[in-house]
Amino acid sequence: MPELPSFLALAVALLYALALVCVYRILLTYRTAQGAIAWIMGLLGLPYLAVPLFLLFGRNRFSGYVRARRLGDKSLRPLLNRLEQGPETISAPQQGDTGRDLQVLSRLARQPFTGGNQFTLLKDGEATFEALFEAMEDARHYILLEFYIVRSDRVGQRIKTILKRKLAQGVQVWFLYDDIGSVWLPRKYLRELSAAGANVASFGDGNIRRRRFQINFRNHRKLLVCDGTVGFVGGINLGDEYLGCAMDQEPWRDTHCRVEGPAALGLQLAWLEDWNWASDDTPSLNWEPQRAGDQEALILPTGPADPHETCTLFFLNCINNAQSRIWIASPYFVPDFQVINALQLAALRGVDVRILIPEKSDNPLIRMAAYSYLVQASQAGIGIYRYQPGFMHQKVVLVDDRYAAIGTANLDNRSMRLNFEISALTTAPSFVGAVDTMLTEDLAQCQLMTARDYRDRSLLFRISCRAVRLLAPLL
Is residue 421 a contact partner of residue 301, using CB atoms and an 8 Å limit? yes
Please state, in angstroms and rounded to a whole number, the distance separating the CA atoms of residues 155 and 130: 11
The predicted structure's pLDDT at residue 271: 95
Q: Which residues are catalytic?
A: 220, 222, 227, 393, 395, 400
pLDDT at position 409: 96
User: What tens digit of pLDDT does each residue of 441-469 get?
Assistant: 999 999 999 888 888 888 888 888 888 77
Provide mean pLDDT across the span 87-98: 63
What percent of the chain has a predicted confidence (pLDDT) above 70? 85
- Does residue 69 surpass a pLDDT of 60? no
Sequence-distant (≥ 6) Cβ neighbours of residue 100 within 8 angstroms: 92
- The pTM is what? 0.87
What is residue 63's predicted lDDT score, i.e. its pLDDT? 58
- Give the span between the Cα atoms of 55 and 65, in whole angstroms: 17
Residue 46's pLDDT is 77
Looking at residue 210, its pLDDT comes to 47
Mean pLDDT of 12-28: 80
Report CA 103 to chain centroid distance, whole Å.
Answer: 21
The answer to which of 127-131, 253-257, 275-279, 424-428 has the lowest mean pLDDT is 275-279
Q: What is the mean pLDDT of residues 169-193?
A: 95
pLDDT at 30: 67
DSSP for 49-73, written as a single string? HHHHHHHHH---S-HHHHHHHHHHH
**pLDDT top residue among 360 and 475:** 360
21 vs 426 pLDDT, higher one: 426
How many Å apart are CA 94 and CA 401, to the nearest integer? 13
Answer yes or no: is pLDDT of 182 > 70.
yes
With 0-12 / 13-18 / 19 or more C-beta atoms within 10 angstroms meaning exposed / middle / buried, residue 30 is: middle
Q: Residues 259-295: pLDDT tens digits?
A: 999 999 999 999 999 998 888 888 999 999 999 999 9
Find the mean pLDDT for residues 386-399. Answer: 94
